[in-house]
Amino acid sequence: MVCEPMPKWLSDCRERVKDLGVFGDKTPNHVLVNEYTPGQGIMPHEDGPLYHPVVTTISLGSHTLLDFYKSLSNTDHQDTTHDASYESRYIFSLLLEPRSLLVLQNDMYTRYLHGISQREKDTVSDQQRVANGSRLGQPLSFAEELNRSTRVSLTIRHVPKTFKIKLKLK
């Protein structure tokens, strides 16, 4: 990965997250900016060994639901009847509120996949298990429909190996 300077506003966000101490003695040096319009999501995935052991995400604009799934390596391979569908591997969701910070680490990093469904609104019902439902800034009423608007996420991580070469893009 090649180093590039960060804009000041982004570097300020990075510093505030660093000051929380969640990266230990490391300084987060990588920010991914994603924009989601209503109906857009991201496939269930693992962030992989490069960013291990901590990933942090600031949510701006819309709320979203981040869904967690058992990874296949975390299901019982002896059980040949096991169902590989995401539906059967779903465990719970976290409601990511606007201006919130998510810290993903430990088992949630290594043992589970995370993803965002392609929906324009989220219906918060019992099936949709919102694990942080009781810890939100605004209490949730169940069966409530939450319309998504544009969301920008800043995923702040630490990458151990970077190269200090200058890219000349024309």
Ligand X SMILES: O=C(O)CCC(=O)C(=O)O
Q: Which residues bind ligand X (CB under 6 A)?
A: 32, 34, 42, 47, 57, 66, 114, 153, 155
Nearest approach, Cβ of 26 to ligand X (angstroms)?
A: 18
Span of 20-28, 39-47, 60-68, 69-77 interacting with Fe ion by CB under 5 A: 39-47
Secondary structure (3-state) at 76: coil
Query: Which one, 14 or 114, has the nearer CB to ligand X?
Result: 114
Residue of 17, 76, 62, 66 lying closest to 45 (CA atoms): 66
DSSP symbols for 98-117: TT-EEEEEHHHHHTEEEEE-
Nearest approach, Cβ of 153 to ligand X (angstroms)?
A: 3
Query: Which one, 93 or 155, has the nearer CB to ligand X?
Result: 155
Residue of 170, 147, 162, 161 lying closest to 61 (CA atoms): 147
Query: Which one, 47 or 97, has the nearer CB to Fe ion?
Result: 47
Counted residue by residue, the chain has a size of 170
In Å, what is the CA distance from 40 to each residue of 34, 123, 164, 170?
11, 16, 34, 31
Helix, strand, coil fractions of the chain, as percent rounded to 5 = 15, 35, 45
Query: Which one, 114 or 148, has the nearer CB to ligand X?
Result: 114
Chain residues 40-69 in contact with Fe ion, contact rule CB under 5 A: 47
Nearest approach, Cβ of 138 to Fe ion (angstroms)?
A: 25
- In angstroms, the CA 47 to CA 44 distance is 10
Nearest approach, Cβ of 118 to Fe ion (angstroms)?
A: 16
Which does residue 128 bind out of ligand X, Fe ion, none, counting CB within 5 to 8 angstroms by kind?
none
Query: Which one, 74 or 82, has the nearer CB to ligand X?
Result: 74
Which does residue 32 bind out of Fe ion, ligand X, none, counting CB within 5 to 8 angstroms by kind?
ligand X
Instruction: Dig out the tokens for 152 from the structure.
Output: 């920008």
The binding site for Fe ion (CB under 5 A) comprises 47
